[in-house]
Structure 1
Amino acid sequence: MSDELLPNERLVDGPLPDPAVQTCGAEEVAPDLLVIPNRRVPLVPNIGIIGGRDAVLVVETGMGTANAEQVLSLAAEVAGGRRLYLTTTHFHPEHAFGAQVFDGAATYLVNRAQATDLSTKGPGYLEMFRSFGGAVATRLDDVRVPRPDEVYDGVRELDLGDRTVLLRPTGRGHTLGDQVVEVPDAGVLFTGDLAETGQFAIFPWFPPHDTDVSGLGWADVMDRLAAAGPRIVVPGHGDVGGPQVLADVAAYLRELREETWRRRDSAMGEAEIAAEVKALLIERHPEWTGREWIAPGVACLCAEHA
């Protein structure tokens, strides 16, 4: 599988910047709840450190051991002797492929679908990301595919002491194993790559080897998340915001679907559909980055039916 994923490196246009996590920029968005912002650096996620009376939960590791070591160091400092947990929102390398650094220092928990993604797709994605070369490959030099300590079904209620965090699998959307992290007492929601700000939605549509992303399922997930009414939304990439972040992503996914299906139903070819839809959406959202993800989104939705 890993070799078969390599042709999709065409999505990378030129050398990528070093995906370095900068923990010095951590911001407290609620009491005892820090976000290490991604500063809009490609392949750097927003990372969370959520504290309770007895324990601290880290959300995401950053890509590679050097990034994860910085995250662990800050988390240990924040914890001050409290127990450490780690979770990741999905299996992609910039979110999870530093988890080995937490071995022995924290308990790594993921939902069952994400654990399956890690074991079945993780090696292929690791090799694909290494093929990008440069700083990305260097960050992954000594990385192995993560192995969780605990795998759970359904919603995992994690008691940190006077604060319960919900690790909630969402069903098929950006990946099969997506989960969000809810902090109900603070009204904070970590979405992983189900939501981004300032960029087009990331569609990992790599047929025939990875076709689990669902534009239809993803839009439904966003509606459910929005209905829960979080106060603060921490997207996978981009700026922390309010509930409008979720509504904006849902609106874009439906816009992409409608423009794609209207052309598909008129018997246009997929390449022509992708070209027209990409031009239209860039015109509508000229300030957004990630334009390379429009065409995979079109291909995904061309294959889906209501």
Structure 2
Amino acid sequence: MTKQFASAGDMTEKQISFSEIGRDLWAFTAEGDPNSGVIIGEDSVMVIEAQATPQLARKVIERVRAVTDKPISHLVLTHYHAVRVLGASAYQAPQVIMSDTARAMVAERGAEDWASEFERFPRLFDGHDEIPGLTWPTTTFSDRMTVYLGNRRVDLMKLGRAHTAGDVVVHVPDENVMFTGDIVEYHSACYCGDGHFNDWPQTLEKIRSFDLAAIAPGRGDALVGAEMVNAALTNTADFVCSTYDPVARVAARGGSLKQAWDACRAVCDPKFADYAIYEHCLPFNVARAYDEAQGIDTPRIWTAARDKDMWNALQG
């Protein structure tokens, strides 16, 4: 069991991959670090996820420029977390799009999340001095929005609560490819600290109903082909349920958070211990599952101080 806080000691650079998962659709992946997506339209480009800093965002832009010189016109942020949004200024995109729920979460907890995530995973904030402030969208939507990149149609949708309450997926119908953000992960632990465990599996099934040709997940390799897509959806659901169910049983009998942690590890360690950021996520996941099992529907705001108090209590 790790004693160092979250991923504070993870300073190993990851190998970047940039792979085409459909016609003019690209997945930027980095061995379990946050992914980005690229959609090249007839006359411009949409990028999904900004990365945590402008410096890291420029690594995505460099890959985009290797395959097209079309301007980046749209930046879509699937949710509010700092590691996904704070690099937005590097793109200089005319439109920055979030769900209205995600924007409200920036206002409610964006500053606290920034400070919290910076302490948890400093490597992901390389070049943080360039961040001009919180990232705010220029455009929001409630349930569904369609963007045309020339003749190429891109559908943005809220399919349900999962990783956060404001999660967005991005679907490209002409190739039947979806960018899911952290609703779907591949051989990476799900971060559930701001999640909704009881809603998450139903949201995954809504994604499954598209019978997708490929998915660019939030973390991990791109998923190409129906077999890989469906396996990742099933595995993500298993991770979420395997985390929540033992914690909920402990909470139902009035057990402590530490007992919930032990019960969760007994179920999850044999299946997921080798997943990227597993040890990083587990304490936050257990704390949120414990709250949800006790009827706390809205995730409590994580702060740097709350992080450390929880971590120390569970790690001993």
Question: TM-score range with shorter-chain normalisation?
Answer: 0.7 to 0.9
What is the CA deviation profile of residues 61-82 of structure 1, one whole-angstrom value per residue up to 9, with x for unaligned ones? Answer: 2220112223234435644345
Structure 1 Cα separation of the partners of residues 111 and 246 of structure 2: 35
In the alignment, which residue of structure 2 is the partner of 1:234?
Answer: 216
2:178 to 176, 181, 189: 189
In the alignment, which residue of structure 1 is the partner of 2:27?
Answer: 35
Q: Which runs of 5+ in 2 are unaligned?
A: 224-228, 296-316
Matches within 5 A, 1:220-299: 220-241=202-223, 242-289=229-276, 290-299=278-287
| Structure 1 contact 165–184 (Cα < 8 Å) conserved | yes
In the alignment, which residue of structure 2 is the partner of 1:3?
Answer: none
What is the CA deviation profile of residues 231-283 of structure 1, one whole-angstrom value per residue up to 9, with x for unaligned ones? Answer: 21211111122222112111222233332233333443331121122133102
Q: Does 1:15 align with 2:9?
A: yes
Structure 2 Cα separation of the partners of residues 203 and 133 of structure 1: 16
Structure 1 Cα separation of the partners of residues 241 and 123 of structure 2: 35
Q: Does 1:140 align with 2:128?
A: yes
How many residues are aligned here?
Answer: 285
**Distance change >3 Å, CA 280–CA 45, structure 1 → 2:** same
| Structure 2 contact 6–121 (Cα < 8 Å) conserved | no
SS at match of 2:199: helix
Alignment RMSD: 2.6
Structure 2 Cα separation of the partners of residues 133 and 240 of structure 1: 23
| Structure 1 contact 30–186 (Cα < 8 Å) conserved | yes
In the alignment, which residue of structure 2 is the partner of 1:52?
Answer: 41
| Structure 1 contact 233–245 (Cα < 8 Å) conserved | no
Structure 1 Cα separation of the partners of residues 57 and 154 of structure 2: 22
Q: Does 1:213 align with 2:204?
A: no
SS at match of 1:53: coil
In the alignment, which residue of structure 1 is the partner of 2:289?
Answer: 301
Q: TM-score, normalised by structure 1?
A: 0.83
**Distance change >3 Å, CA 63–CA 16, structure 1 → 2:** same
In the alignment, which residue of structure 1 is the partner of 2:118?
Answer: 130
Cα distance, 1:158 vs structure 2: 1.0
SS at match of 2:190: coil
| Structure 2 contact 44–72 (Cα < 8 Å) conserved | yes
Cα distance, 1:13 vs structure 2: 4.5
Q: Which segment drifts farther, 288-297 or 120-129?
A: 288-297
Structure 2 Cα separation of the partners of residues 255 and 102 of structure 1: 38
Structure 1 Cα separation of the partners of residues 255 and 108 of structure 2: 35
In the alignment, which residue of structure 1 is the partner of 2:159?
Answer: 170
The letter for the 1-side match of 2:207 is: L
2:102 to 106, 114, 120: 114
**Distance change >3 Å, CA 27–CA 106, structure 1 → 2:** farther
Cα distance, 1:14 vs structure 2: 4.0
Cα distance, 1:147 vs structure 2: 1.9
Share of identical aligned residues, percent?
A: 21
Structure 2 Cα separation of the partners of residues 135 and 295 of structure 1: 20
Cα distance, 1:119 vs structure 2: 2.6
| Structure 1 contact 264–302 (Cα < 8 Å) conserved | yes
| Structure 2 contact 165–195 (Cα < 8 Å) conserved | yes
Structure 1 Cα separation of the partners of residues 198 and 166 of structure 2: 16
Structure 1 Cα separation of the partners of residues 35 and 47 of structure 2: 11
Structure 1 Cα separation of the partners of residues 15 and 135 of structure 2: 19
| Structure 1 contact 226–247 (Cα < 8 Å) conserved | no
Q: Which runs of 5+ in 1 are unaligned?
A: 1-8, 205-211
**Distance change >3 Å, CA 245–CA 132, structure 1 → 2:** closer
**Distance change >3 Å, CA 219–CA 70, structure 1 → 2:** same
Q: TM-score, normalised by structure 2?
A: 0.80
Structure 2 Cα separation of the partners of residues 97 and 169 of structure 1: 21
Structure 1 Cα separation of the partners of residues 120 and 291 of structure 2: 28
The letter for the 1-side match of 2:264 is: V
Structure 2 Cα separation of the partners of residues 21 and 70 of structure 1: 12
Structure 2 Cα separation of the partners of residues 132 and 272 of structure 1: 24
